[in-house]
Chain A
Amino acid sequence: MAADSSRPDADAGTATEAADDRLLEVENLQTVFHTERETIRAVDGISFGIAEGETLGLVGESGSGKSVTARSIMGLVDSPGELLPDSSIRFDGRELTGLSEKQYERVRGGGVAMVFQDPLSTLNPVYTVGNQIEEALSLHRGLSGMDATEKAIELLEDVGIPDAARRVSEYPHEFSGGMRQRAVIAMALACDPDLLICDEPTTALDVTIQAQILELLAELQEEHGLAILFITHDMGVIAEVCDRVAVMYAGEVVEQAPVVELFENPRHPYTRGLLRSIPSTQRGADRLETIEGEVPTPNAPATDCRFAPRCPEAFDACREVHPEPVPVAAETADEGADHSAACLLYPENETRGQAVERHTSEGETTGAGAADSGGDAR
């Protein structure tokens, strides 16, 4: 990842191969919420990218900034929230930050669509399911009347709703939870998006339905060539659907790797803790392992590792140096370059002193901009 430049424009010129084939490129995204007492840095300088047809999992505890990331990409951050000026979200080569509300309306749905957590509240109870799908259809495909109804039935069939021709004229309350989520997905597909953001789409569903929905998403992804940003706190779901995973903690991405690599070789102590706290992976243990403490509320630019107070492997430098995302094994193989962690323990082939040095210097180059902009905002 080219994390060494905070200027998106400069970066576009010297684009690495990543920027070319990536559909979505988020760089140094900082979303802050101004409250009366403090400024909460809900998303604090995260960077990731999603290639076409790829599924990126965004995982983390409650309050780690996952949903805010999603809403930032959708441009749905309402006052008192705000994206800091250094943030960059490029979709299909187009910078989204700073777009006017009018311009953003065209991006939403058409390019990026979103599936929300609670399928019941996503559907407006006073309109039939078909009506709501048709609304999106008329907006993005110019369909109306019978054409739209037919297309809506087709979409409902696509997402596996039986007897779609009858169901299309039913109200959301007549649908079961799983079917509602299918209908919501159909609504998102109606816009014909390139990127689908799923914000905990299975959290409100029971496990069997959850599996069905995940299967459905995989099918649809293959069919439509969708890129998916999958937000969840469930490592099991991540293992099921994702190609790559970004682990978030307190507004930052602490580790990013292909899914198999992450599960086999978790490097960041936080990721390890997360994986250890999945009940099924520790059969025979008396007690479920947990990570002690809770996610801090990031209300100032980080000067240390935010995970340090809860980290079993923390050492002195962790409280003084803010770790930057670095390849876990710097000078070695290619797959190492695709696996990054924001932890002073890495790169692991360097001595601890060298590593700390590297984090410090990288923090000065990228962090300088972040600190400035933080100052501007206040």
Chain B
Amino acid sequence: MSVVDDEDATLRERLTDEPGPALRVFAVVAALVAVEFGALANLVMSLPWDAVGTALPGFVQGVAATLAGVGDALAGLPTLLSRSVIDNAGYQLPSGEWEGTFMGLSPAIAWAIRVVLIYAYGFVWLLVGWWSYLVYRDNYRHANWAPVDDMVGRFRNHSWGLFGLAIIFAFVVLAVFAPALGPTTVDANIADPYLHSIEFYNEETGSVEEMYVGDANGDSQSRGQGGENVGPLSYDQYDRFHPFGTLPSGKDLFTFMAAGARVSLFIGVASLALAGGAAVVFALATAYYKGLVDLGIVITSDSIQAMPQLLVIMLASFVLSGTWLANLYNGGVVLALLFGLTGWPGLWRAVRGPALQVSEREWIDAAKSFGQRPSVTMRKHMLPYVVGYLLIYASLTLGGVIIGVAGLSFLGLGINAPTPEWGRAVSAGQPYVATPSWHISLLPGILIVIVVTGFNALGDGIRDAIDPQSDVDTGQQDQSAAAGGGA
């Protein structure tokens, strides 16, 4: 399909030869980035640079400080999907009019518009990703066909996998756009409520007054039977909209959840990257070299697995608390490390069997017999048979990590308070499960279940997509066709 005649052309040559489609993709991506540039810069600035910075030598710190200044300036740029553009914070006058909100709409509707826009924006990114893959495939790729085409094709017909993808997409957008999605922010509502204030219309005095968020929170608590309650999709007495209701402390649950999603996603992905990477490398090495290498890793992993994972993590995070490591990302980094370091033996065990199996196949000997390097043999001829298993177990484990982190937070360990974490919400709502404040525990709980299910479904879909043999129907068709044609 390539229009370049010279088939030897490198990707760069192909691009310069026919820049049209690539430029169109680039333009769209640039436009997408531009409307959210402030948020992107903000995200970069929100990383724990300070902790990294202090570990660096002086002159690097100087450079970092300069960069930080630039970053802060950029972060101040307006962004299309920020709360300042579509604001849902305001107050209602006795006439029923809303002051301060986006176009005078009610906070609920303004917030809903923002949520819809943000999810639409995320979806556009998804489409652009798909589109750029198509552009690359049709215009710039060497081969007209590659195995990944079939994988994509199989995944597109896998409804359970697509369901998982949809859930994970929703979860990832929630995590990535957490600051813009919440009706209020973590800073204002959860972390420093007494450093921020809101305006509200005081009916007694008939005037607009200002008060601390902390004080407002005190009047919007959800404390079940007989107490106050701000349930899902309702306003509190200061005209603040709470899509998921409030916590017992009066803080906004949705804001809490969105920020918690970010923490969960970070810990889950980081720990799995660590554990999965180690598991795959060890599995391929044990399967390829066998013998002493295998024995060494078996003993190591057995030793790690002999210890109860959650207890070790609790102990280690307790021991490490107070060190600089424990302060990185409010304890997220240390949790990711601990889950990664204690989690790889399980993954490794899951993929070692398939790796050993495939290492006995004759094509490994064949690859060796034409002099292929061990690293390439492992990567090309063994890894594809292992990845499916890894993805399945990784997605199960990812669910497990999310549950594990939630569990630790439930017990008051793990992520440092007051940084939001789902488990802490479940814990906070525990006394109110059977009261009108049921939402505090139930909504986070349901979200955890859905997200974990989503990861499993996605893993399932990817597994079936990667494994050509799972595609039984077409496989048989091809085989009979080949037999007929080859006779």
Seen from chain A, the residues whose Cβ lies within 8 Å of a Cβ on chain B are 74, 76, 78-79, 101, 104-110, 113-114, 116-118, 121-128, 132, 135-136, 139-140, 145-147, 169-171, 173-176, 178-179, 184, 187-188, 190-191
B300 at the interface (CB under 8 A from A): no
Interface residues contributed by chain B, number (CB under 8 Å): 35
Please choose the segment from B122-130, B303-311, B362-370, B453-461 that sits at the chain A interface, where 4 or more of its residues have CB less than 8 A away. B362-370
Asked whether A107 lies within 8 Å of B363 as measured between CB atoms, the reply is no
Closest to A116 in B: B362
Bound complex: CA A118 to CA B468 (Å) = 21
B8 cross-chain contacts in A, Cβ below 8 A:
145-147
One of A114, A135, A146, A171 near B372 (C-beta < 8 A): A135
Q: A108-B368, A136-B370 are in contact. List 15 more A-B contacts (CB 8 A).
A: A78-B290, A109-B372, A124-B367, A125-B468, A126-B468, A127-B147, A135-B370, A135-B372, A147-B8, A169-B144, A169-B145, A175-B482, A175-B486, A176-B482, A176-B483
Bound complex: CA A123 to CA B479 (Å) = 16
Asked whether B371 lies within 8 Å of A173 as measured between CB atoms, the reply is no
Bound complex: CA A184 to CA B486 (Å) = 16
Asked whether B363 lies within 8 Å of A140 as measured between CB atoms, the reply is no
B299 at the interface (CB under 8 A from A): no
- Given known A145-B8, A179-B486, contact A187–B368 (CB-CB < 8 A): no
A169 cross-chain contacts in B, Cβ below 8 A:
144-145
24 contacts between A and B (CB under 8 A): A76-B368, A79-B290, A101-B374, A105-B372, A108-B368, A108-B369, A108-B370, A108-B371, A109-B369, A109-B370, A109-B371, A121-B362, A124-B361, A145-B7, A145-B142, A146-B7, A169-B144, A169-B145, A170-B482, A171-B478, A174-B482, A176-B482, A184-B366, A187-B370
B478 cross-chain contacts in A, Cβ below 8 A:
171, 173-174
B156 at the interface (CB under 8 A from A): no
Closest to A188 in B: B370
Closest to A105 in B: B371
CB of A374, distance to nearest CB on chain B (Å): 23
B374 cross-chain contacts in A, Cβ below 8 A:
101
B368 cross-chain contacts in A, Cβ below 8 A:
74, 76, 108
- Given known A79-B290, A125-B469, A139-B372, contact A176–B362 (CB-CB < 8 A): no
B373 cross-chain contacts in A, Cβ below 8 A:
105
Bound complex: CA A118 to CA B366 (Å) = 11
Q: Looking at B145, B381, B481, which has the most chain A CB atoms within 10 Å of its CB? A: B381
B291 at the interface (CB under 8 A from A): yes
B380 at the interface (CB under 8 A from A): yes
- CB contacts under 8 Å to A, within B361-406, are 361-363, 365-374, 380-381, 384-385
B319 at the interface (CB under 8 A from A): no
A135 cross-chain contacts in B, Cβ below 8 A:
367, 370, 372, 380
Asked whether A114 lies within 8 Å of B366 as measured between CB atoms, the reply is yes
Asked whether A121 lies within 8 Å of B371 as measured between CB atoms, the reply is no
CB of A145, distance to nearest CB on chain B (Å): 5
B475 at the interface (CB under 8 A from A): yes
Asked whether B371 lies within 8 Å of A176 as measured between CB atoms, the reply is no
Asked whether B487 lies within 8 Å of A107 as measured between CB atoms, the reply is no
> Top 3 A-B pairs ranked by shortest CB distance?
A146-B7, A109-B370, A176-B486
Asked whether A74 lies within 8 Å of B369 as measured between CB atoms, the reply is yes
Closest to B373 in A: A105
A174 cross-chain contacts in B, Cβ below 8 A:
478-479, 481-482
- CB contacts under 8 Å to A, within B323-361, are 361
B487 cross-chain contacts in A, Cβ below 8 A:
176
A117 cross-chain contacts in B, Cβ below 8 A:
362
A171 cross-chain contacts in B, Cβ below 8 A:
468, 478
Asked whether B362 lies within 8 Å of A118 as measured between CB atoms, the reply is yes
B144 cross-chain contacts in A, Cβ below 8 A:
169
Asked whether A173 lies within 8 Å of B479 as measured between CB atoms, the reply is yes
Q: Looking at B144, B365, B369, which has the most chain A CB atoms within 10 Å of its CB? A: B369
CB of B355, distance to nearest CB on chain A (Å): 14
Asked whether A126 lies within 8 Å of B365 as measured between CB atoms, the reply is no
- Given known A108-B371, A109-B371, A124-B381, contact A173–B366 (CB-CB < 8 A): no
CB of A96, distance to nearest CB on chain B (Å): 13
One of A110, A122, A146 near B363 (C-beta < 8 A): A122
CB of B486, distance to nearest CB on chain A (Å): 4
CB of B134, distance to nearest CB on chain A (Å): 20
CB of A150, distance to nearest CB on chain B (Å): 8
Bound complex: CA A127 to CA B382 (Å) = 12
Q: Mark B448-487, 1 if CB is under 8 A from A, else 0.
A: 0000000000000000000011000001001101110011
Asked whether A191 lies within 8 Å of B371 as measured between CB atoms, the reply is yes
B371 cross-chain contacts in A, Cβ below 8 A:
104-110, 139-140, 191
Closest to B7 in A: A146
Closest to A163 in B: B485
Bound complex: CA A184 to CA B366 (Å) = 9
Bound complex: CA A72 to CA B365 (Å) = 12
Bound complex: CA A105 to CA B144 (Å) = 32
A190 cross-chain contacts in B, Cβ below 8 A:
370
Q: Looking at B7, B142, B486, which has the most chain A CB atoms within 10 Å of its CB? A: B486
Closest to A117 in B: B362
Bound complex: CA A105 to CA B7 (Å) = 30
Bound complex: CA A1 to CA B279 (Å) = 52
CB of A180, distance to nearest CB on chain B (Å): 10
Bound complex: CA A106 to CA B371 (Å) = 6
CB of A139, distance to nearest CB on chain B (Å): 6
Asked whether B369 lies within 8 Å of A76 as measured between CB atoms, the reply is yes
Bound complex: CA A172 to CA B483 (Å) = 12
Closest to B476 in A: A173
One of B363, B384, B486 near A121 (C-beta < 8 A): B363
CB of B234, distance to nearest CB on chain A (Å): 54
